[in-house]
Chains A and B, each alone.
Chain A
């Protein structure tokens, strides 16, 4: 992409007090989405050939991973040390911690295995807040409606209603664990209204909501007597019973020594998060290093049905510059506080608080049609006009967005003086494993919670529902997984791996690619010996 206005020229022209012109009316959102949203890019979607979703649409890069070979076969299991446990939780973000804590509270012995460090997750980076219908003019019903509407009515009403109904109780549980929230002078929880909400419903802890949640849950898990934590221990495969129909454990490896370990259990809870680090369609991502879609790959191989595999959220305002923060977010809260989007010719081009998929498409349209601001051949973006916001509300950025200010200060940028160059960034996996209200997948013994699960956000998530979802369904799955009191597995096998390999062979698909990915290629040097 070589068109666009050169950075120096755009900077010279930029003024925080310039006249922006009238906002052009958005006549047809669907046409805009179809023309510019990355989900609709030509060649972005293919049909799956094997597995529970055969014949359905799936994003191309993800399809390659779902239809691939496992890393291990039966020979690798011989002589591998075995650990027996009641409940295995895979993933150490907010969902995994909530599931582990609830399972432990219900009396289970829990093993929580996580790829990186406990707490390394997208949860820790969530800035905006958590939705819960607690204001007098609000109701659980309205929360359900907003969520379904925001997701273009593709969500499962039963799951949405379970989550929204849990909202107030989730806040109480978090406070009991020791999480703080912003309060009004009279002691109420402070709420904000953000994109897609019909009323104020976003509860927050300044712009560090996810960090506050994660450090509290992390500490609670570390301190719990009945929870054992294995860090740097990614799962490379699930284990099934003799018929390959039930999940009875997992095989973990270690990033430190490469040693495989078998865990036998009655229930496995997948809480592995999303896949931003696959950089779908070549996009940068806001996600943490471990977000490589491992949970989807493992669930699909053991036979679980997935959904909305062609729908991803690209957050409108990822940083384009400085390079080392490329793809990292400027929270939607900044736009909610009044910051405008301005193109290279100094015009506004979209209502900044429309749903994320529409704002994202509008930015991509400006860039594609030559009204973006160009750093070099690869990087084109638009302004997020923070100096104008600061001019209208002196001190607001420093007071309400300490996280943004700290991050940019380290890089020698002052958003109060310079506008930020932004471009959409791969942010969230809207779909995932099909689950019921207990987080149970279509495979007995296997649960999925958090970003790896699907059905709640439809085809577009609204702000603040991710932090609610992870706790709501994390707790539900923790309880349900513990209620399973069968005698545990007699035999652990890789029957499901053989089944998928047969299907791939019959379909004449290559068996050369192996998955899960575990780490992005650029970070895998020397740590993960395939």
Chain B
């Protein structure tokens, strides 16, 4: 079983998870340590390989406070760990089918994400990102209408939304990044090989329908 790590070995690391003092084996991730010790209410765990963004934790080492993913952070002595509650519902609303004209998108972006122009360059988002994304720069690119580049900056985004939590201006950078990526595909991805196959299939269907009506 995947979690039966170092069975029989004496746990030698002591730390705090959700306020409980626990013991763990060296080399365990914080998720494994929480399970190993039976810490209650640790349900924000998903893929355990750093792509689903669920297992968000706040870490305190002495006076330093940081955030990370529990599945890719290893136990250390005296670290204090708090599993964060799920992110709250987004404050910025749009449906992509409502966008009809690509020329309007920049104006719509500023309607939907008015805070994006108010970045104070505090680097809170950059420091919070467990994937090392240059979040602040990505937001600036989107604010300048450079959605393709902005989206590319967010390529490794796993939607953990830790940057949203970190932002004092409530910009919701993760959603700005995803907006940029979605707009780019929605308006600009027009692959000829796919379009040609769709047209062939349409003609086949039309042919079949015509044939049917001839036979009637």
Contacts and interface: CB of A to CB of B under 8 A. Distances in A.
Of A121, A134, A178, A210, chain B has the most CB atoms within 10 Å of the CB of A178
Contacts of A282: 1
B151 to A, nearest CB: 7
Contact of B194 (A116, A134, A210): A134
A186 B189 contact: no
A259 B2 CA distance: 31
B47 interface: yes
Interface in A114-134: 116-117, 119-121, 124-125, 132-134
Contacts of B208: none
B173 to A, nearest CB: 14
Contact of B35 (A140, A168, A179, A522): A522
Interface in B17-43: 27-29, 31-32, 35, 38-43
Interface stretch (A77-85, A293-301, A321-329): A321-329
Contacts of A325: 49
Nearest to B180: A178
B47 to A, nearest CB: 5
B43 A232 contact: yes
Contacts of B90: 222-223
Nearest to A525: B38
A135 B197 CA distance: 8
A406 B198 contact: no
Interface in B158-198: 158-159, 175, 178, 181-186, 189-194, 196-198
Nearest to B29: A324
A403 interface: yes
A285 interface: yes
A279 interface: yes
Contact of B186 (A140, A175, A215, A519): A175
B94 A223 contact: yes
B67 interface: no
B49 A522 contact: no
A215 B189 CA distance: 18
Nearest to A224: B95
Nearest to B194: A134
A142 to B, nearest CB: 13
Nearest to A528: B43
Interface residues of B, number: 64
A18 interface: no
B50 A180 contact: no
A420 to B, nearest CB: 14
B137 interface: no
User: Chain B interface secondary structure, helix, strand, loop or mixed?
Assistant: loop
A443 interface: no
Contacts of B35: 522-523, 525
B16 interface: no
Interface string A127-162: 000001111100010000000000000000000000
A184 B192 CA distance: 11
Given A125-B49, A178-B183, A522-B3, A189 B193 contact: yes
A181 interface: yes
B154 to A, nearest CB: 9
Nearest to A177: B96
A416 B157 CA distance: 25
Nearest to A325: B49
Contacts of B72: 407, 410
B111 interface: no
A219 B92 CA distance: 11
A168 B197 contact: yes
Contact of A136 (B44, B46, B74, B193): B193
A527 B184 contact: no
A526 B3 contact: no
B190 to A, nearest CB: 7
Given A232-B43, A288-B48, A525-B35, A322 B27 contact: yes
Given A134-B193, A327-B2, A525-B35, A220 B40 contact: no
A172 B86 contact: no
A452 B41 CA distance: 27
Nearest to A232: B43
24 contacts: A116-B44, A117-B46, A117-B54, A119-B46, A120-B47, A134-B191, A134-B194, A135-B193, A168-B201, A178-B184, A180-B184, A181-B191, A186-B192, A208-B155, A220-B95, A223-B95, A223-B96, A289-B45, A289-B47, A324-B48, A324-B74, A326-B2, A410-B72, A522-B1
Closest 5 interchain pairs by CB?
Answer: A178-B182, A526-B40, A120-B46, A525-B38, A188-B193
Interface of B: 1-3, 5-6, 27-29, 31-32, 35, 38-54, 71-72, 74, 86, 89-90, 93-97, 131, 151, 155-159, 175, 178, 181-186, 189-194, 196-198, 201
Given A178-B184, A180-B151, A324-B48, 5 more contacts: A117-B86, A187-B191, A256-B43, A279-B1, A328-B48
